[in-house]
Structure 1
Amino acid sequence: MDNIFKLTERGSNVSTEARAGLTTFLAMAYIIAVNPSLLVAAGIPMVAAVTATCLGAGIMTILMGVFSNRPLACASGMGVNAIVAFTLTAAAGNDWHAANAVIFVEGIAILLLVLCGLREAIMDAIPVSLRHAISVGLGLFIAMIGLKNGGVIVANEATMVALGNVSDPIFIMALISIIATVSLYAFKVPGALLGGIIISVLAGIPLGVTHMPEGLVSGLDFSSFGAPFLTDEAGTMGIVKVLTNPTLIVFAFSLMMSDFFDTMGTAMAVAKQGDFLTEDGNVKDIKPILIVDSAAAAVGGFVGASSITTFIESSSGAADGGRSGLSSIVVGILFILAAFFSPLIAVIHSAATCGALVFVGFLMMSEVHDIDWSDLLEGFPAFAIAAGIPFTYSISDGIGFGFLSFVLVASLTGQIKRVKPLMWVATLAFLVYFLIV
């Protein structure tokens, strides 16, 4: 085990990897309930959606662990699943098979870009300051997700966002989660992030937030598997609809842009916590990560689970000591088991993970001091990314703001030569992306 996953070399061990895997799984277990609830709106049967969500996440996370040997976990991405449910399905004539075929086509396309080296080359062309800014923006974004899940911040018509109801049991549970996580970390207790989740789940019992499971075992339904090649009532396969419909092809391009840069940002964030980010902001051995992540998108479309992507919550496990693919394999196994025990997993309220996500956000803010804020070309695009990611609630949109800002400031300050050719390519692609979404 040690030789396969290089545990000693990376300062880890089997128990630490197992704990980190459990931390990551608990931080992203909400997807088991949330993703099916959205896909049902597209017409996918509930049990089939649960089966596709759990098995798709489990299989691709295990493959990520095996091929990349990094603590990264995959599952159906939030945002894209809503697009599948409420936009793509309608655009495809209320055919969820065709909606998932769009995801399948997008995944195949981005996989080809990785195999030919373009995705990795574009990442290498990004200025170092922007790479640091991506980590900062993601830290704020992760913290924002945690606070939103815990009802600490809520939507407000007048101010867009506001403090939640402090007497709400969910708010109290989230607050306990934060306090427990910080306290355990301050006292150097191993597994502080996981401990914070467990304590808050237990605290949720008297608060009425944590409920007893409605049963233990659930069945499996594979009827959504092979979605792109299933037919509608007229006998037309979903994949055929996509390849003959310009509107759906445009959707595939838009989703490819989002997937392209979401994963880049996520990989950098987890690499920072998992100690596989170089000093100049490069992710070590990133190609296997990108290959599995790209294949995961296609697999997500194939099984009918929406796009499967690398989850930003993986950073919680990395912050809890995960350093190898062994923790990913633990996550994957837990997802596969969850396909049979989803009622039991459902008792973990998302507020219980608030402390873990907020604390990871705090840890990622350390990148701020690596940005030269006195240099307009370094500072302003970095600010555009750091602010853009949480403010738009989109990793790809925030990165796009930064790229466009970098080219603009470089042009205005006579430093256009600092824009590398592939940076131009990415910026132009973002410009097209913003115009058509």
Structure 2
Amino acid sequence: MLNKVFHLTENHTTVKTECIAGVTTFMTMAYILAVNPNILSAAGMDPTAVLLATCLASFLGTMCMGMMANLPFALSAGMGLNAFFAYTVVGNMGYPWQVALLAVLVEGVIFLVLSLTNVREALFNVIPISLKQAVSVGIGVYIAFIGLQNAGVVVNNDSTLVSLVSFTDHFRTSGICALLAIIGIFLTAVLYLKHVKGSILIGILGTWILGILCQLTGLYQVDAEAGYNSLIPTFAMTDFSKLGETFGQCFRVDFDGISIVNFIVVIFSFLFVDIFDTLGTLVGVCTKADMLDKDGKFAKIKPALLADSIATSAGAILGTSTTTTFVESSAGVAVGGRTGLTAVVTAVLFLVSMLFAPIFIAIPSFATAPALVIVGFLMFTTITEIKFSEKDYVKAIPAYLCILAMPLFYSISEGISIGVISYTLLHLICGRGKEVKPLMYILTVLFILKYIFL
């Protein structure tokens, strides 16, 4: 039956492979269950309510992706968008979090309409193949950087912006975590090179177990105030009644003292980042999974975008920030996930995690970092497909800038923006403007206007 529903044989995969891929994707995304409540609580929202809303929105969106599009992609509350929600819209602009949720809901509905009218599909298809390949590479570097940063291997530095952590300073907290992440990277790499099935998942679990052993022997010390919690999972249950504190609150908004113009700007800020983060993720992961046709188009783009927009709208009603397709889906793809069964497995795990949230929250960032670094490498290998001969420099330079921008600007959408603008301008200046499709010119103007007004 599963073969008939998900076309496993046609996609050269098996139930076992898809299940391993689904678990792997979930394990690399499980950090969101700890991070999102922490970020949105800064906006005054109840952390438990946010956790439940995040689980439900992730379940709904990922299940839609699996059943509607038959794709191995998972969705959850988008990183960056949740920070924009809490620290910019609520923190700096002073809007109540209920207003921010309403903005997310409206953005989701607009997103849905754009998906139904083929606008987003057209945006996906108009991006040149060289930029699509660059997006895959850029995302690879970007998620590897995220992994190293979350694990504490890469730290802030006043003189050089970022630097390598000092392993000896605070060795029993930050130092040992960074060291375990590095050990985990080599462990995962060796397993992958030896073609061990589920090597990335084993790398996550193996690194976590090493961390638990370090805690039991005193090498790792718990310091909750500094963010170093116990690595040993607890078995407490979640208070489900808390969901009532956020559910439907987007409809209970008082617009007194709220500028409609600023509110519209907030909506379109959410919309802009959501659209191009989602497109960038789909482009990058689909390119790596060889899901694009010879023209660089993606046949299942419409149901994928519909699933994303449904998840965003539902998530706002439940009580969480923008729900979007996660780049960590590439972890499942890397271990062989090719159909919606991978997404369904991930979705079920999000639902189950409502019951055992403390266990999943106990998975530390240094344990998921090796998966992100190795998956980043696998996506980076797409760089060999970009043509770097001198006659193709007009296409290669925008691809290079796109790759460069993603990790440096900490944004997939910024990478796409820089890539599109430079692609169009270089073609125009070099007298090759006719090679650029009309929609690319429109995109270029919109991107430039974004930097001027947003």
Establish whether residue 216 from structure 1 lines up as the match of residue 236 from structure 2.
Answer: yes
1:115 counterpart residue number? 116
- Given candidates 404, 422, 433, the residue that maps to 2:439 is 422
- Given candidates 252, 256, 260, the residue that maps to 1:230 is 252
- Deviation by residue 1:375-419 (Cα, 9 ceiling, x = unmatched): 231111111101011110000111101111112111210111122
RMSD of equivalent CA atoms: 1.7
Please report how far the alpha carbon of residue 103 of structure 1 lies from its aligned counterpart in structure 2 after TM superposition: 0.9
Structure 1: state its 5+ residue gaps: none
- Deviation by residue 1:234-254 (Cα, 9 ceiling, x = unmatched): xx2x7x998x61101012112
**Structure 2 counterparts to residues 60-209 of structure 1, below 5 A:** 60-90=61-91, 93-167=94-168, 168-208=175-215
**Structure 2 counterparts to residues 226-375 of structure 1, below 5 A:** 226-231=248-253, 236=254, 245-373=260-388, 374=390, 375=392
**Structure 2 counterparts to residues 400-415 of structure 1, below 5 A:** 400-415=417-432
**Structure 2 counterparts to residues 19-38 of structure 1, below 5 A:** 19-38=20-39
- Deviation by residue 1:111-138 (Cα, 9 ceiling, x = unmatched): 1111111111122111111111111111
Q: Indicate if the aligned counterparts of 1:213 and 1:347 stay in contact, CA closer than 8 A.
A: yes
Which deviates the most, 280-289 or 148-157? 280-289
Give the distance between the partners of 1:263 and 1:145, measured in 2 at CA.
17
Give the distance between the partners of 2:198 and 2:124, measured in 1 at CA.
32
Please report how far the alpha carbon of residue 290 of structure 1 lies from its aligned counterpart in structure 2 after TM superposition: 0.8
Q: Indicate if the aligned counterparts of 2:124 and 2:283 stay in contact, CA closer than 8 A.
A: no
Please report how far the alpha carbon of residue 341 of structure 1 lies from its aligned counterpart in structure 2 after TM superposition: 1.1
Q: Indicate if the aligned counterparts of 1:18 and 1:326 stay in contact, CA closer than 8 A.
A: yes
Which deviates the most, 205-214 or 262-271? 205-214
Which deviates the most, 207-216 or 427-436? 207-216
Please report how far the alpha carbon of residue 295 of structure 1 lies from its aligned counterpart in structure 2 after TM superposition: 2.0
| Structure-2 change in CA distance of 1:151 and 1:376 (3 Å) | same
Give the distance between the partners of 2:183 and 2:197, measured in 1 at CA.
18
| Aligned residue type for 2:243 | F
Please report how far the alpha carbon of residue 174 of structure 1 lies from its aligned counterpart in structure 2 after TM superposition: 0.5
Give the distance between the partners of 2:451 and 2:310, measured in 1 at CA.
25
2:53 counterpart residue number? 52
Which runs of structure 1 show a deviation greater than 3 angstroms over 4 or more consecutive aligned residues?
A: 90-94, 272-275
Q: Indicate if the aligned counterparts of 2:125 and 2:298 stay in contact, CA closer than 8 A.
A: no
Please report how far the alpha carbon of residue 93 of structure 1 lies from its aligned counterpart in structure 2 after TM superposition: 4.2
Give the distance between the partners of 1:427 and 1:227, measured in 2 at CA.
37
Give the distance between the partners of 1:5 and 1:426, measured in 2 at CA.
35
Give the distance between the partners of 1:340 and 1:92, measured in 2 at CA.
35
| Aligned residue type for 1:219 | D
Establish whether residue 17 from structure 1 lines up as the match of residue 18 from structure 2.
Answer: yes
Q: Secondary structure at the match of 1:161?
A: strand
Identical pairs, percent? 40
TM-score, normalised relative to structure 2: 0.91
Q: Indicate if the aligned counterparts of 2:133 and 2:287 stay in contact, CA closer than 8 A.
A: no
Please report how far the alpha carbon of residue 436 of structure 1 lies from its aligned counterpart in structure 2 after TM superposition: 2.5
| Aligned residue type for 1:201 | W
2:223 counterpart residue number? none
Q: Secondary structure at the match of 1:256?
A: helix
Count of residues in correspondence between the two structures: 430
Q: Indicate if the aligned counterparts of 1:376 and 1:409 stay in contact, CA closer than 8 A.
A: no
Give the distance between the partners of 2:163 and 2:335, measured in 1 at CA.
30
Which deviates the most, 265-274 or 289-298? 265-274
| Aligned residue type for 2:130 | S
Q: Secondary structure at the match of 1:222?
A: helix
| Aligned residue type for 1:199 | G
Give the distance between the partners of 2:94 and 2:365, measured in 1 at CA.
34
Please report how far the alpha carbon of residue 44 of structure 1 lies from its aligned counterpart in structure 2 after TM superposition: 1.1
Give the distance between the partners of 1:211 and 1:133, measured in 2 at CA.
37
Give the distance between the partners of 1:39 and 1:24, measured in 2 at CA.
23
Give the distance between the partners of 1:318 and 1:112, measured in 2 at CA.
29
Structure 2: state its 5+ residue gaps: 169-174, 221-229
Which deviates the most, 370-379 or 14-23? 370-379
Q: Secondary structure at the match of 2:243?
A: coil
